[in-house]
Amino acid sequence: MAMYSFFDEYDFSGKTIVPFCTHNGSRFSGTIQTIQELEPDATVIEDGFTVNERDVGDAQEDVLTWLEDLNLEFNAE
């Protein structure tokens, strides 16, 4: 429900959404498709980053590699 409320409140039209999460085995479980449905005028990166909750402490290098591979320009507006 929190995700639905968040996307109801904010308009991401013309923005790029970069999904990432921790999980306990379910990964995104359809979340990326849900975001695409909720924000049809946004670009949703389909290659989001997930890490199992047991591996978070060792994920720094994986996160950095993923961010570099995205090759996105970020604008802090």
Task: Give the pLDDT of residue 12.
Answer: 96
Of the candidates 55, 15, 58, which has an alpha carbon nearest to the alpha carbon of residue 38? Answer: 15
Give the whole-angstrom CA distance, residue 32 versus residue 40: 12
Report the percent of the chain where pLDDT is more than 70. 94
Give the whole-angstrom CA distance, residue 62 versus residue 16: 21
Residue 77 has pLDDT above 70, yes or no: no
Task: Give the pLDDT of residue 23.
Answer: 82
Measured from the Cβ of residue 35, the count of other Cβ atoms closer than 10 Å reads 22
Q: Tens digit of pLDDT for each residue in 6-27?
A: 999 999 999 999 999 888 878 7
Give the whole-angstrom CA distance, residue 10 versus residue 39: 10
Quick one: tokens of 57? 């402490």
